[in-house]
Amino acid sequence: EVKITIDGKEINVPSGSTILQGAEQLGIHIPTLCHLDLHDIKMVNQSASCRVCVVEVEGRRNLVPACATTVTDGMVIKSNSIRVLNARKTVVELFISDHPKECLTCSKSGECELQDLAEKMGIRNINITGDAMSTYKKEFTTSIIREMDKCIMCRRCETMCNDVQSVGVLSGINRGFDAVVAPAFDEPLENTVCTHCGQCVAVCPVGALSENDNTWKVIEGLADPDTTVVVQTAPATRVALGEAFGYEAGSVVTGEMVAALRRLGFDYVFDTDFAADLTIMEEGTELLGRLEEYLNGKEVALPILTSCCPAWVNFIESQYEELIDIPSSARSPQQMFGSIAKTYFAEKLNVPREKMMVVSIMPCLAKKFEASRDEFSVEGNPDVDVVLSTRELAHLIKRANINIAELEKESYDNPLGISTGAGLIFGVTGGVLEAALRTAYETKTGETLEKLEFEQVRGFDGLRVAQVDMGEITLNVGIAHGLSHARKLLDEIKEGNPRNLHVIEVMACPGGCIGGAGQPYHHGDVNILKKRIASIYSEEKNITIRKSHENPAVKELYETYLGKPMGEKAHHLLHTHYAF
């Protein structure tokens, strides 16, 4: 331990700490811009490039960045001297001088960390002039918009893409005014192995990276009297939407969200949780089928991998050709929903699929890409027409001058709005596996589970393994969230699966879908993710039916329309294939 003094306050901190960490312990807030410490998910961006966090250290001639300067015993620090304030102001002014002044129309307006600093520092005009200004072409992918003239070179996106996701398509290129973070050789992002996970967007402090906004398409659909507009809401959206309206992180606003969607004019408000239950019926059957063969000594593709996370699917398809036959062939709940909405439900209503618009509200940006895949459309008509992120839904609601706090809670429509607790927990890391285990256990053993919670698969560690008793067999299961952890498991499998894993769940985003890149920004507070997880689990306890195979609407769908899980019709409507 070393003793330091910041702004006249003394404290002992572990040696090796930075000044910033010491200040935090004292409750002294030093502003930062490039810095981001998400150590719970193993992401620490310490590029020390922005210099907003400079402080004065007694005995040192130059100011030092608090985020990257290690404390020494007896260090005396001033975090708020006039010299510091002046330097910080100049730094922020320099950033703004080379930044488009588009705050009124910027996608990050109100959420931008640079705007926030300028406001806090009372910067009212920029006296720095010069001809040079970064100019970059705006680039669109299906999921993401890059406006690199707004890039401030904090490199958070690069750290995220490399360290947490291990995808590594972003790095610093060029010099001086042309310096940006981009794919190698400035290739368009769409041409790289980018998974569309959007986690780079989730940590960008400014408007350089944002989602490809599709709200207007939905407004047009809602305005057309000849279009039946059906909406599904993903499990994780209900514990995050409230944040956009000033609710505490993790507040559950399911009923308010449903009411708001009806006010907006959606004809049917349904739940992706229903389709999650359907996924369990298919994926669970597939799992039991593969296990059966395995137990009979047959050659079979194991471990089976969950396939509902579209960024994860993109990751395997672009980087693990040799493992392409092991993911479950089950489509994701989003796509199962779209497929069922435009067949079973459209037939019920007697509406042709071209006259039905299916909108998804997702916590995720990769879902936009998933919905656009060719295999999920019929003669050019997609199963899911438009995907909006939770943030885009918040905008849509605000644009209609609705405050969700003033709405009476409402319930989902029938039949595609009926779901179980198992469907709800899909939204958190470990949840898809737990939902599958509940159904697989009861189907395989014929016994009723006494305790539905599989605590051994819950948690926040990036990589978890557990054993689950299934009667005849003890299953070895693996769970990864964050693609770098998934990579470890895939590399293990390539090396012969030494842990003899039978099932693996992967979610690309930290925390699972609750941490998706379409959720209200967490601004570096991992506790927000943990609160959303806690809410999903506590909400789930209150749901009467908690096993997918007991969902009455799913049962009816099989009885009256699909036939058996993995049967011919189910195969056609609910399964897919992967390609390298």
| Of residues 576, 515, 529, 517, the one with CA closest to residue 366 | 517
- Residue from 154, 308, 357, 528 binding ligand HC0 (CB under 6 A): 308
Cβ-based nearer residue to ligand HC0, 84 or 365: 365
Q: Is residue 357 a contact point for ligand HC0 (CB under 6 A)? A: no
Q: Hey, which residues between 84 and 143 contact ligand SF4 (CB under 6 A)?
A: none
Question: Is residue 93 annotated as part of the catalytic site, yes or no?
Answer: no
- Residue from 30, 152, 201, 236 binding ligand HC0 (CB under 6 A): 236
> Pick from ligand HC0, ligand SF4, none: which does 362 bind, CB < 5 to 8 A by kind?
ligand HC0
> Pick from ligand HC0, ligand SF4, none: which does 169 bind, CB < 5 to 8 A by kind?
ligand SF4
Q: How far is the CB of 200 from ligand SF4 (least distance, A)?
A: 3
- Residue from 32, 134, 199, 420 binding ligand SF4 (CB under 6 A): 199
Q: Is residue 169 a contact point for ligand SF4 (CB under 6 A)? A: yes
What's the rounded Cα separation, in Å, for the pair 376 and 273? 19
Strand pairing report for 180-182 and 171-173 = antiparallel
Q: Is residue 513 a contact point for ligand HC0 (CB under 6 A)? A: yes
Preceding amide of 382 cis, omega within 30: no
Amino acid at 482: G
How many other CB atoms sit within 10 Å of the CB of residue 445?
13
| Of residues 467, 484, 463, the one with CA closest to residue 476 | 467
Element (H, E) at 316: helix 310-319
Question: Is residue 166 annotated as part of the catalytic site, yes or no?
Answer: no
> Pick from ligand SF4, ligand HC0, none: which does 285 bind, CB < 5 to 8 A by kind?
none
| Binding-site string for ligand HC0 from residue 268 to residue 297, where x marks contact by CB under 6 A and - marks none | ----x---x---------------------
- Residue from 88, 146, 156, 196 binding ligand SF4 (CB under 6 A): 196
**Binding residues for ligand HC0, how many (CB under 6 A)?**
21
Q: How far is the CB of 144 from ligand SF4 (least distance, A)?
A: 6
| Binding-site string for ligand HC0 from residue 543 to residue 572, where x marks contact by CB under 6 A and - marks none | ------------------------------
- Residue from 4, 160, 181, 269 binding ligand SF4 (CB under 6 A): 160
What's the rounded Cα separation, in Å, for the pair 457 and 372? 32
Cβ-based nearer residue to ligand SF4, 169 or 249: 169
Kindly state the DSSP code that residue 228 receives in the 8-state scheme.
E
3-state secondary structure of 361: strand
Q: Which residues pair with 356 in a beta bridge?
A: 228
- In the block, which residue shows the tokens 């995050």? 240
What's the rounded Cα separation, in Å, for the pair 559 and 537? 30
Question: Is residue 410 annotated as part of the catalytic site, yes or no?
Answer: no
Cβ-based nearer residue to ligand SF4, 121 or 179: 179
Question: Is residue 328 annotated as part of the catalytic site, yes or no?
Answer: yes
| Of residues 16, 55, 419, 99, the one with CA closest to residue 232 | 419
Q: Is residue 511 a contact point for ligand HC0 (CB under 6 A)? A: no
The per-residue DSSP string of 103-155 comes to: TTT-TTTTT-HHHHHHHHTT--------S-------EE-SSEEE-GGG-----
Question: Is residue 354 annotated as part of the catalytic site, yes or no?
Answer: no
Distances (CA, A) of 327 to 73, 216, 286, 427: 54, 35, 10, 19
> Pick from ligand HC0, ligand SF4, none: which does 519 bind, CB < 5 to 8 A by kind?
none
Cβ-based nearer residue to ligand HC0, 222 or 432: 432
Query: What ranges make up the beta strands (E) of 193-288?
Result: 209-211, 228-233, 268-271
Element (H, E) at 43: strand 43-45
Q: Is residue 117 a contact point for ligand HC0 (CB under 6 A)? A: no
Question: Is residue 370 annotated as part of the catalytic site, yes or no?
Answer: yes
What's the rounded Cα separation, in Å, for the pair 393 and 340? 23
Kindly state the DSSP code that residue 163 receives in the 8-state scheme.
I
- Residue from 41, 43, 52, 161 binding ligand SF4 (CB under 6 A): 161
Q: Is residue 547 a contact point for ligand SF4 (CB under 6 A)? A: no
Q: How far is the CB of 433 from ligand HC0 (least distance, A)?
A: 11
Q: Which of 243, 370, 392, 540 is catalytic?
A: 370
Element (H, E) at 467: strand 463-469
Strand pairing report for 386-389 and 356-362 = parallel
Distances (CA, A) of 54 to 25, 61, 84, 427, 546: 18, 13, 7, 40, 52
Q: How far is the CB of 110 from ligand SF4 (least distance, A)?
A: 22
The token pair at 426 is 């899909």
Element (H, E) at 330: none
| Binding-site string for ligand SF4 from residue 200 to residue 229, where x marks contact by CB under 6 A and - marks none | x-----------------------------
Q: Is residue 327 a contact point for ligand HC0 (CB under 6 A)? A: no
Cβ-based nearer residue to ligand HC0, 333 or 462: 333
Kindly state the DSSP code that residue 332 receives in the 8-state scheme.
P
- Residue from 31, 183, 333, 482 binding ligand HC0 (CB under 6 A): 333
What's the rounded Cα separation, in Å, for the pair 32 and 200? 18
Residues in touch with ligand HC0 (CB under 6 A): 234-236, 272, 276, 308-309, 332-334, 362-364, 367, 426-427, 432, 507, 512-513, 516
Which spans of this chain sit near ligand SF4 (rule: CB under 6 A)? 160-161, 165, 167, 169-170, 194-200
Active site residues: 283, 286, 308, 328, 367, 370, 375, 513
